[in-house]
Homo-oligomer: A and B are copies of this chain.
Amino acid sequence: MIDICVKKALRDFVLDVDIRVPENETLVLLGENGAGKSTILNLVAGLMTPDSGHIRIGTATFVDTAARTCIPVELRGTGYVFQDYALFPHMTVYENIAYGLRMQDVPRETIASRVRELAGPLGLLEVMYENVKYISGGQCQRVALLRALAVQPKILLLDEPFSALDVRTQGQMRQELKAILECAKIPSILVTHDLRDAIALGDQICLMEKGEVVLSGDVETILQEGKHPFIDRFYSREVT
């Protein structure tokens, strides 16, 4: 279960949301630029602290200001694909993907085989030992995705994870992620501007505006045309 009920003062407005998503479903966050979507992911990951409220994922309470509990970032077990990737610039593609496993002290050989297994289907084998500074934008995003998936996280946080991918890889990744989520039965939060992502992966959709949830529901409900100008635009985009 995802249960996010937090207040946090941002620069221009107060982020004030109360989101509940049933067990192992995927939450899709939609909204205009600057609405506070990335901030929610940061709060869940523990990179920011809410002013008040709580965040519970599955059976764990990540943070609860009333109970004064707060699990440190590294113990939350989140797989976070950052909007700007945040690849470690001093490491190769391989080292980036392997990093999380190394931190879990997984044996070398296991890491090696697991990384190759992940990287193969995404065509990263040929840049495996390149420094991440010398790979293309889309390749960076794939590495960021694999790095987050490699640790077999308890929750996935995906900030526009497919925006720089080419069409083929986008489709492929969408399928792959769907399979992973279904089989690992882990909750996830996906920020996207792409309706296809929402349709393919989303169970619950929240539409945000200036720090507040203005519309939420499951995919079918939300997609009934005319419910909100933002969703409208999503459709009109399809048509253009």
Partner-B contacts on A (CB < 8 A): 11-12, 31-35, 37-38, 83-84, 123, 126-127, 130, 134-139, 141-142, 159-160, 163-171, 193, 195-196, 199-200, 230, 233-234, 236-238, 240
Using Cβ atoms and an 8 Å threshold, which residues of chain B touch A168?
32, 230, 233
Known: A83-B164, A137-B38, A196-B237. A126 touches B33 (CB 8 A): no
Judging by beta carbons under 8 Å apart, are B193 and A33 in contact? Answer: no
Q: 6 pairs across A/B with beta carbons < 8 Å?
A: A33-B137, A33-B164, A84-B84, A137-B159, A165-B193, A167-B193
A37 CA to B137 CA in the complex, in Å? 10
Q: How far is the CA of A238 from the CA of B167 in the complex (A)?
A: 10
A135 to chain B, nearest CB (A): 7
Q: Report chain B residues within 8 Å CB of A195.
A: 167
| Across-interface contacts of A170 in B (CB, < 8 A) | 193, 237
The 7 A-B pairs of least Cβ separation, nearest first, read A33-B138, A163-B163, A83-B137, A32-B166, A34-B136, A167-B233, A33-B166
Of B32, B139, B159, B236, the contact of A34 (CB 8 Å cutoff): B139
Check if B33 sits within 8 Å of A237, measured CB to CB: no
Shortest beta-carbon distance from A88 to chain B in Å: 15
Residue of B123, B171, B230 near A237 (CB, 8 A) is: B171
